[in-house]
């Protein structure tokens, strides 16, 4: 089992370089993904921040849309930050009319949720899942999470100001998402958490193929929090 999993950064648009650096610092071998053949070689994938409407168009132009959905559905760990969180969400509010996502996370996100006035800001967040002290979170025209399905674990909330209590980091099975940008601060704890998720997924897969569809809930409930796997494998998203 590799202790340095190979993790791709979706490189059609957005802040790719910062994620590559953060992943390397967190112990992964990081590589860009622009082609289906490159996607096949990675153990996990980061979907960076940028502009989700543009990214949505470009993943189709690069013939990555179906391969990405297929790999996410079959259990590839993925981490989305900001626009990446939108891309991994099953549902969007305030998306462009024709905007689609890759989906996988049983959440509804609101695009540009913090409004025009405060569209970029920073705040210290206390996040138990990453241990240690508070993390500086940088929000840039960020979404927030408006609804979470039952298998979704909330990792962080806005703590101050008019948006206090809004959900800004979640995990569901092998999927992780933050509304903020940990790749720009030099604090790599979120990337370390994701690298650990990828290592665990590799170890789990090495013990035997994941059971999907009807068997998935029983097989994975303990390790992954239950309903999420069910939603991913057999849910509304798979056949759209
Ligand atoms: N507002 C952007 C979008 O909707 C996200 C911004 C970001 O990723 N920093 O895609």
51 lines ligand 1 (CB under 6 A): yes
pLDDT confidence of residue 238: 32
140 lines ligand 1 (CB under 6 A): yes
Residues 6+ apart with CB under 8 A from 175: 72, 77, 78, 79, 80, 88, 104, 105, 228
**113 alpha carbon to ligand 1 midpoint, in Å?**
10
Ligand 1 atom closest to 83 (CA)? 8
198 lines ligand 1 (CB under 6 A): no
13 lines ligand 1 (CB under 6 A): no
Query: Between β-strands 135-140 and 144-148, what pairing exists: parallel, antiparallel or unpaired?
Result: unpaired
- Lowest mean pLDDT, pick from 57-71, 149-163, 219-233: 219-233
- Angstrom distance (rounded) from CA 198 to CA 24: 14
**179 alpha carbon to ligand 1 midpoint, in Å?**
9
Mean pLDDT of 157-184: 96
Domains and CATH numbers, the chain: 6-234 (3.40.50.880)
**192 alpha carbon to ligand 1 midpoint, in Å?**
23
Its pTM stands at 0.87
Q: What residues are annotated to the active site?
A: 82, 181, 183
Please give, one letter per residue, the 3-state secondary structure of 14-77. Answer: CCHHHHHHHHHHCCCEEEEECCHHHHHCCCEEEECCCCHHHHHHHHHHCCCHHHHHHHHHCCCC
Ligand 1 atom closest to 95 (CA)? 4
pLDDT grade for 211, boundaries at 50, 70 and 90: low
pLDDT at 115 > cutoff 90: no
pLDDT grade for 214, boundaries at 50, 70 and 90: very low
Which residue would you say has higher pLDDT here, 83 or 162? Answer: 83
Tokens of 111: 């695009």
How far, CA to CA in Å, does 60 sit from each of 15, 57, 66, 149, 208?
19, 5, 8, 27, 32
pLDDT at 208 > cutoff 90: no
């Amino acid at each position: 089992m590799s202790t340095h999993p190979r993790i791709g950064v979706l490189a059609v648009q957005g802040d790719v370089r910062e994620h590559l650096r953060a992943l390397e610092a967190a112990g992964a071998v990081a590589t860009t993904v622009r082609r289906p053949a490159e996607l096949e070689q990675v153990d996990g994938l980061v979907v960076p921040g940028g502009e989700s409407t543009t990214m949505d168009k470009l993943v189709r132009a690069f013939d990555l849309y179906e391969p990405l959905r297929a790999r996410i559905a079959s259990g590839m760990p993925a981490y989305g930050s900001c626009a990446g969180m939108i891309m991994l969400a099953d549902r969007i509010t305030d998306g462009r009319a024709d905007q689609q996502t890759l989906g996988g996370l049983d959440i509804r996100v609101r695009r540009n949720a913090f409004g025009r006035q405060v569209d970029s800001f920073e705040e210290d967040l206390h996040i138990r899942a990453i241990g240690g002290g508070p993390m500086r979170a940088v929000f840039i025209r960020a979404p927030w999470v408006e609804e979470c399905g039952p298998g979704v674990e909330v990792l962080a909330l806005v703590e101050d100001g008019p948006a206090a209590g809004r959900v800004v980091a979640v995990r569901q099975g092998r999927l992780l998402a933050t509304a903020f940008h940990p790749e720009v601060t030099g604090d790599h704890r979120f990337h370390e958490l994701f690298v650990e998720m990828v290592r665990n997924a590799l170890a789990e897969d090495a013990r035997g193929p994941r059971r999907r569809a009807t068997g998935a809930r029983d097989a994975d409930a303990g390790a992954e929090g239950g309903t999420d796997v069910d939603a991913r494998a057999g849910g509304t998203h798979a056949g759209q």
